[in-house]
A and B are shown apart, each in its own frame.
Chain A
Amino acid sequence: MGAKERLVVVGNGMASLRFLEQLTERAPGRFDVTVVGAEPVAAYNRVLLSSLLGGEVDEAACGFRGLDWYAGHGIRLITGAPVTAIDRENGLVVVGETHVLPFDRLVLAVGSLPIRLPLPGADLPGVVTFRDFADVAAIRAAAVEHAKAIVIGGGLLGLEAAVGLARLGVDCTLLHVMDRVMERQLDHTAARLVTAAMEARGVKMLLSANTACIEGDGTVERLVLKDGTVLPADLVVMSVGIRPSTALAQACGLAIGRGITVDDRMTTSDPRIFALGECAEHRGIAYGLVEPAYEQAEVLSRHLVGEEAAYLGTSLATSLKVSGLPVFSAGVVDTPDGADAITVHDAAAGLYRKLTIIDGRLAGAVFVGDISEQARCKEMIRSGAPLTLDDRDDLMFGRRQPQALAA
């Protein structure tokens, strides 16, 4: 047996770690693995950032694997080290002035960057994003008593940030440019329930709110809306979305679209180089969720050990809790004309369930408050199997005995 192939993984986020776990489980010791992460700590659970912000968990509780796990599996882990260049011709990864790492195969799991709105005043101190441990630390530092915080962005992360801030006792207002929160996942009714839940948790919600500028003398003092409303603020958290990190790939000439273009085996335009997670674009889609990243990690690990594996995309499903309120969304969100909708709506109980049915097949599901049968919904959307009458009832109310309301 000759020298091991050298595998370098750039990025140590959730996609990266899952890939490493799958790979080492399938083929322990097969590759000489080096992982380079830009953040100073090993991969942690980004989904818990809002809990961390709200003080419900500490950083340690967010971690997945200790350094001993990497060592024990023969993985060299380099943290706090942003990769600066990739030399494809020579098969090298350059980490600033400190490391040059030769590779036979290269996996890019560099994630995404939070979008900063190009607003006047967006660069003032006190304007932060909400993406990593460092952001959380900055927010917590600003969230002193009587502080006023504004979160821009009514997507999942923005909602989570706002709830975390409210839990800290901060006077928190959430601004969203659309007329409903999470518009890509929720229809109006579901969004209203989530909005009500946010308000119940102490967050002021402003919808259809367009920010004109952020103002302050040396630090954030206020935010001005396009309608002229002035909102005092000591802290502005921008959570308006993410952009796949493509700079490194672009610089070395890999094909990119919105993200780094990959095929069904997560292979980039260079057959030795692979990409997965939020930085990758598969069949035109750059996912921003953990579930497709994990599916991609499995496919890539199998591919690298020589198994037949192909990633065919993840059906667009979101299953999460907005500050404890379970929410599920898959497929079509807004029921188109001519489609059937089955709905259950009990606003006072915080319950909403909608199935959208097109041509007798499940096309979408939006659940709030009780997300039971979500797995089956996803499967039926994916398979496109015709729905029986029993299916309609079972998906709506559970098979046989309905399940208790999830909290």
Chain B
Amino acid sequence: MTVHVSDATPAVVKTTCPYCGVGCGVLASPDGQGGAGIAGDTDHPANFGRLCSKGSALGETLALDDRLLHPVVDGARASWEGALGTVAGGLRRIAEQHGPDSIAFYLSGQLLTEDYYVANKLAKGFLGTPHVDTNSRLCMSSAVAAHRRAFGSDTVPGCYEDLDEADLLVLVGSNTAWCHPILFRRMADAKAKRGARIVTIDPRRTQTGEEADLHLGLRPGTDTALFSGLLVHLATQGAVDRRYVADHTAGFDAALERAQIIAPSIAATAAATGLAEADVLTFFEMFTRTRRVVTCFSQGVNQSAQGTDKGNAIINCHLATGRIGQPGMGPFSLTGQPNAMGGREVGGLANMLAAHMHFAPEEVDRVRRFWDAPNIITGEGMKAVALFEAIARGKIKALWVMGTNPLVSMPRADAIRDAIAGLDLYVVSEVLATSDTARATAKKTVLLPALAWGEKDGTVTNSERRISRQRSFLKAPGEARADWAIMGDVAKRLGFGASFAYTSAAQIFREHAALSAFENEGSRDFDLGGLAELSDRAYDAAPPVQWPLPKRAADPRKGQARLFADGRFYTFDQRARFVAVQPPALALHPTAKRPLILNTGRVRDHWHTMTRTGKSQRLSAHRAAPFLEIHPDDAARYRLSDGGFARVTTDHATAILEVAVTDGALPGSIFAPMHWSDMTASHGRVVALVRGMPDPVSGQPELKATPAAVEPVAYRSRGYLLTRSATPAPAGWWWARATVQGGSGLIFATQDGSREVALALRGLFPGHEIAEYSDHARGLYRLAAYREGRLIACLAVETGERRPDWEIAKQVFAAPEIEATDRRSLLSGRAQTASAGPVICACHGVGLDVITAAIAAGAGSVEKVGAACKAGTNCGSCIPEIRKLLPAALARDAA
């Protein structure tokens, strides 16, 4: 293992978590060896010291394995000079030959605001291409569009305190318990302390749904029917705030009229959504009779061909009741990425120009003057889906990808890989040398080593508009550099040096803040004027703060928790807009050939394409292989068995996934997580299956409803191989890779029998002491390889019906010394002492068996389980799973 080398004095550094949009404060204590201790920052207002499983395990993700540490041109190591020359020369030539709009940038919500700002400025002001989009298009662009339609600006009205103060929390299309765990803990606290109720609206009954007071498992894509029905109900019950509507909004009558067409009654709503009338009524009454309502929405709303309408259907209900901008109420978009908001602020999307300015002539002129930009663009560029389609058509000749993995995360990613091969120039600014995107190639391919979390320095903005510092606490490894510095050097080579002569992130931040305030005077929500003259030292020390921060404010350094309390919005008439939404309909319907609807999403302990979380053994323990959730009735119909394999086929790709039969799935719907890539699995790229029909307003692709077929796949043998470093699977095998303590775990399935597997894998360990067990008549084989008494590898093979349990082997593999009894249990597959079982609590590494033992010993509540074995006492994201293990839950399930 290679590690960061640092001569910096270890000290506690305050920084911000690089995962979801909650934006938790993290205290990093570098150990001087390239690692760091990680703790929650008790002073940070997003988390007050808490961290989820992913954040807690950040220290396990800092190793330099697989890092890109020097520039690479067409597969060969290159100097920075050579690589930057190739990039600048290529961009110049392509711009000259095909026009600047044949150049595209694909950016990322993982970029810091400063990097985002420089990329946006270089492309839109100097290269002169409008085609700058970002993976945030896949994440929250429908929320942005809904905000802009309703408020005239991309404004999140509320703040996290609203979650503490609400009496009703409605979670739409959000597995908050897994995807925004720290916010969910706040909600759970509100429930425990104040009796706040939680309603979940999701075709899947996720862990969040398990914790809810009411779960509405509606049919995919019918959210607008539910919220239209709610608007109608509010109107008929006299719950509309007529005065607010009259004074501060426009378009109510048209919106209500449309809602009455879509869902005129409780019965119609139930019919449209597939819900029971009683449940619909219960929810409507809860909403009607509770003033303090926060409606959180996330990817289930956004990642939809009607995502913008879904968002507006929700916002309509809040506007109708005047429940916005006040404590404990409002619509609340939970963003997925650490800096999706920062990207929106700089304008790093194809339908924005910069700093919440768009393409009105005066806006274009204002930005042109501020930047002194020679090639300012005047209109929108192509959004992600269209942009990649344009690459396939040859319209785009050069693509620069920064900090994202579209070959895994974009719909129809197989087609994108083919399209990229046709590019004249393909530039990837990356942290990993081995990501699917870094391994794709074009006619000219340049890989540029970028700084990772812990190395780079700048700001990010979370879901409640709070700007926090991500601070560097590790030395830059190899030749890696900050993205803004890389782009600055390219700009110089293109002749724009004067406008990109940045020497620090602070300098870029000041320019960004100044642009936000430039000729603003309250006309734009996004205003950081109060920070435009921040000194370097003040920038370094900057505490988390919520925008807007206009210079004219009484205390320009003090942020603002809520907007719109005064009922004034950023439309020309300062009135919010109701939106008459379209009737709900899926873009693509199931057919006889593709009878199921494929939903995609996340698991608790992995993040995006696993390029960071995949390095952590703790995070890899919760779900080790890509899987498919399916309802028992569908499983029976399609002959799938729990723990077996399913081939999932759409018109675009196939994947082979382990089957998880669960009644949490809606009949007719299947779910697969989006995290696995060619790096981590043979047949696990799930988003490649997805059609990705874009929302007509936001351009965000539908990732939650692609018609799909499933069929069982049988393998003759299944097994696992634990090795000290990653070992490739033989060609033709199904496999998934997961980091384990002390090495790498390969889970595999193959048509070979145990004898052939033994022959194939035994040869991996020449010169080792081999211990083995074989019962080939039953298809069983186990092997342990030792060198000088140290366990180097262990292998288990069983027949295809089931994956061998690897918990015992993982424990033995993790131990520094091997006992005689352990040697024996590696061969017998039986524990000598009680195994901890599959990991439930990733933070404390507590296994299922430990928790059930604690419960058997009398721990009758989540709290008591935590007191007994620490499970669930850190991030709490496993509490739903613990609760299900309690006797009360078992009794309820049996009833």
Which A residues fall within an 8 A CB radius of B?
A: 340-349, 351, 357, 389, 392-393, 396-397, 401-402, 404-405
Do B830 and A397 touch (CB < 8 A)? yes
Q: Which of B209-217, B537-545, B697-705, B773-781 contacts A (4 or more CB under 8 A)?
A: B773-781
Do A396 and B824 touch (CB < 8 A)? no
Q: Bound complex: CA of A397 vs CA of B821, how far in Å?
A: 12
User: Chain B at the A interface: mostly helix, strand, loop or mixed?
Assistant: mixed
Q: Is B434 an interface residue (CB 8 A)?
A: no
- What are 24 A-B contacts defined by CB distance under 8 Å? A340-B777, A341-B774, A343-B774, A343-B775, A344-B771, A344-B772, A344-B773, A346-B771, A346-B772, A346-B824, A346-B827, A348-B771, A348-B789, A349-B820, A396-B773, A396-B775, A397-B824, A397-B828, A397-B830, A401-B830, A402-B828, A404-B820, A404-B821, A405-B821
Do A402 and B824 touch (CB < 8 A)? yes
Name the residue among A348, A404, A405 with the largest chain B CB count within 10 angstroms: A348
- Taking a contact as CB atoms closer than 8 A, the residue among A345, A402, A404 that contacts B830 in the complex is A402
Which residues of the partner chain A approach B772 to less than 8 Å between Cβ atoms?
Answer: 343-346
Complex: chain A residue closest to B775, CB-CB = A342
Complex: chain A residue closest to B772, CB-CB = A345
Which residues of the partner chain B approach A341 to less than 8 Å between Cβ atoms?
Answer: 774, 776
Nearest Cβ on chain B to A258's Cβ, whole angstroms: 37
Q: Is B724 an interface residue (CB 8 A)?
A: no
Q: Bound complex: CA of A50 vs CA of B377, how far in Å?
A: 98
Q: Which of B758-786 contact A (CB under 8 A)?
A: 769-778, 784, 786
Do B774 and A346 touch (CB < 8 A)? no
Q: Bound complex: CA of A179 vs CA of B773, how far in Å?
A: 25
Q: Is B291 an interface residue (CB 8 A)?
A: no
Q: Bound complex: CA of A342 vs CA of B776, how far in Å?
A: 7
Q: Is B725 an interface residue (CB 8 A)?
A: no
Which residues of the partner chain A approach B820 to less than 8 Å between Cβ atoms?
Answer: 349, 404-405
Name the residue among A344, A346, A348, A357 with the largest chain B CB count within 10 angstroms: A346
Complex: chain A residue closest to B833, CB-CB = A401
Which residues of the partner chain B approach A392 to less than 8 Å between Cβ atoms?
Answer: 775, 778
Nearest Cβ on chain A to B809's Cβ, whole angstroms: 15
Complex: chain B residue closest to A405, CB-CB = B820
Nearest Cβ on chain A to B357's Cβ, whole angstroms: 71
Known interface pairs A340-B775, A342-B774, A343-B774. Does A349 touch B823 (Cβ–Cβ under 8 Å)?
Answer: yes
Q: Bound complex: CA of A247 vs CA of B361, how far in Å?
A: 125
Which residues of the partner chain B approach A351 to less than 8 Å between Cβ atoms?
Answer: 771, 823-824
Complex: chain A residue closest to B771, CB-CB = A346
Which residues of the partner chain A approach B770 to less than 8 Å between Cβ atoms?
Answer: 345, 347
Q: Bound complex: CA of A242 vs CA of B532, how far in Å?
A: 103
Name the residue among A344, A347, A357, A389 with the largest chain B CB count within 10 angstroms: A344
Number of residues on chain B facing chain A (CB within 8 A): 22
Q: Bound complex: CA of A340 vs CA of B777, how far in Å?
A: 6
Do B825 and A402 touch (CB < 8 A)? yes
Nearest Cβ on chain B to A230's Cβ, whole angstroms: 35
Which residues of the partner chain B approach A343 to less than 8 Å between Cβ atoms?
Answer: 772-775
Given contacts A342-B774, A392-B778, A405-B824, 4 further A-B contacts (CB under 8 A): A340-B776, A340-B777, A341-B776, A344-B771
Q: Is B832 an interface residue (CB 8 A)?
A: yes
Q: Bound complex: CA of A403 vs CA of B786, how far in Å?
A: 22
Known interface pairs A343-B774, A402-B824. Does A348 touch B769 (Cβ–Cβ under 8 Å)?
Answer: yes
Q: Bound complex: CA of A389 vs CA of B784, how far in Å?
A: 23
Nearest Cβ on chain B to A57's Cβ, whole angstroms: 28
Complex: chain A residue closest to B777, CB-CB = A340
Which residues of the partner chain A approach B774 to less than 8 Å between Cβ atoms?
Answer: 341-343
Q: Bound complex: CA of A358 vs CA of B828, how far in Å?
A: 22
Known interface pairs A344-B772, A347-B771, A349-B771. Does A402 touch B832 (Cβ–Cβ under 8 Å)?
Answer: yes
Do B823 and A346 touch (CB < 8 A)? yes
Chain B 818-849 near chain A by CB (<8 Å), digits 1 or 0: 00110111011010100000000000000000
Which B residues fall within an 8 A CB radius of A?
A: 769-778, 784, 786, 789, 820-821, 823-825, 827-828, 830, 832
Q: Bound complex: CA of A392 vs CA of B789, how far in Å?
A: 29
Q: Bound complex: CA of A393 vs CA of B773, how far in Å?
A: 11
Do B828 and A345 touch (CB < 8 A)? no
Q: Bound complex: CA of A209 vs CA of B820, how far in Å?
A: 36
Nearest Cβ on chain B to A346's Cβ, whole angstroms: 3
Which residues of the partner chain A approach B823 to less than 8 Å between Cβ atoms?
Answer: 346, 349, 351
Which residues of the partner chain A approach B825 to less than 8 Å between Cβ atoms?
Answer: 402
Q: Bound complex: CA of A343 vs CA of B823, how far in Å?
A: 15
Nearest Cβ on chain A to B819's Cβ, whole angstroms: 10
Q: Bound complex: CA of A34 vs CA of B92, how far in Å?
A: 117
- Taking a contact as CB atoms closer than 8 A, the residue among B771, B777, B821, B828 that contacts A396 in the complex is B828
Do B827 and A344 touch (CB < 8 A)? yes
Complex: chain B residue closest to A340, CB-CB = B777
Which residues of the partner chain B approach A349 to less than 8 Å between Cβ atoms?
Answer: 771, 820, 823-824
Which residues of the partner chain A approach B828 to less than 8 Å between Cβ atoms?
Answer: 344, 393, 396-397, 402
Nearest Cβ on chain B to A350's Cβ, whole angstroms: 10
Which residues of the partner chain B approach A402 to less than 8 Å between Cβ atoms?
Answer: 824-825, 828, 830, 832
Nearest Cβ on chain B to A300's Cβ, whole angstroms: 42
Which residues of the partner chain B approach A346 to less than 8 Å between Cβ atoms?
Answer: 771-772, 784, 823-824, 827
Q: Bound complex: CA of A348 vs CA of B818, how far in Å?
A: 13
Which residues of the partner chain A approach B830 to less than 8 Å between Cβ atoms?
Answer: 397, 401-402
- Taking a contact as CB atoms closer than 8 A, the residue among A347, A397, A404 that contacts B769 in the complex is A347
Q: Bound complex: CA of A347 vs CA of B783, how far in Å?
A: 12
Q: Bound complex: CA of A10 vs CA of B831, how far in Å?
A: 54
Which residues of the partner chain A approach B773 to less than 8 Å between Cβ atoms?
Answer: 342-345, 396
Do A389 and B778 touch (CB < 8 A)? yes
Nearest Cβ on chain B to A261's Cβ, whole angstroms: 41
Which residues of the partner chain A approach B832 to less than 8 Å between Cβ atoms?
Answer: 401-402
Complex: chain B residue closest to A343, CB-CB = B774
Complex: chain B residue closest to A355, CB-CB = B775
Q: Bound complex: CA of A131 vs CA of B774, how far in Å?
A: 40
Q: Bound complex: CA of A402 vs CA of B827, how far in Å?
A: 11
Q: Bound complex: CA of A351 vs CA of B776, how far in Å?
A: 19
Which residues of the partner chain B approach A348 to less than 8 Å between Cβ atoms?
Answer: 769, 771, 786, 789
Which residues of the partner chain A approach B821 to less than 8 Å between Cβ atoms?
Answer: 404-405
Complex: chain A residue closest to B780, CB-CB = A342
Nearest Cβ on chain A to B64's Cβ, whole angstroms: 34
Which residues of the partner chain A approach B827 to less than 8 Å between Cβ atoms?
Answer: 344, 346
Nearest Cβ on chain B to A309's Cβ, whole angstroms: 40
Nearest Cβ on chain A to B780's Cβ, whole angstroms: 8
Complex: chain B residue closest to A404, CB-CB = B821
Do B777 and A357 touch (CB < 8 A)? yes
> Which 6 residue pairs spanning A and B have beta carbons closest together?
A346-B771, A340-B777, A397-B828, A342-B775, A348-B769, A344-B773
Q: Bound complex: CA of A343 vs CA of B775, how far in Å?
A: 7
Which residues of the partner chain B approach A345 to less than 8 Å between Cβ atoms?
Answer: 770-773
Nearest Cβ on chain B to A75's Cβ, whole angstroms: 48
Which residues of the partner chain A approach B778 to less than 8 Å between Cβ atoms?
Answer: 389, 392
Nearest Cβ on chain A to B827's Cβ, whole angstroms: 5
Nearest Cβ on chain B to A10's Cβ, whole angstroms: 49
Nearest Cβ on chain B to A351's Cβ, whole angstroms: 8
Which residues of the partner chain B approach A393 to less than 8 Å between Cβ atoms?
Answer: 828
Which residues of the partner chain B approach A401 to less than 8 Å between Cβ atoms?
Answer: 830, 832
Q: Bound complex: CA of A393 vs CA of B829, how far in Å?
A: 10
Nearest Cβ on chain B to A237's Cβ, whole angstroms: 34
Nearest Cβ on chain A to B772's Cβ, whole angstroms: 6
Which residues of the partner chain B approach A344 to less than 8 Å between Cβ atoms?
Answer: 771-773, 827-828
Complex: chain B residue closest to A360, CB-CB = B777
Q: Bound complex: CA of A342 vs CA of B778, how far in Å?
A: 9
Which residues of the partner chain A approach B769 to less than 8 Å between Cβ atoms?
Answer: 347-348
Nearest Cβ on chain A to B868's Cβ, whole angstroms: 25
Q: Bound complex: CA of A341 vs CA of B774, how far in Å?
A: 8
Complex: chain A residue closest to B826, CB-CB = A346
Nearest Cβ on chain B to A407's Cβ, whole angstroms: 10
Name the residue among B789, B821, B830 with the largest chain A CB count within 10 angstroms: B830
Q: Bound complex: CA of A389 vs CA of B786, how far in Å?
A: 29
Nearest Cβ on chain B to A352's Cβ, whole angstroms: 10
Complex: chain A residue closest to B774, CB-CB = A343
Q: Bound complex: CA of A62 vs CA of B372, how far in Å?
A: 107
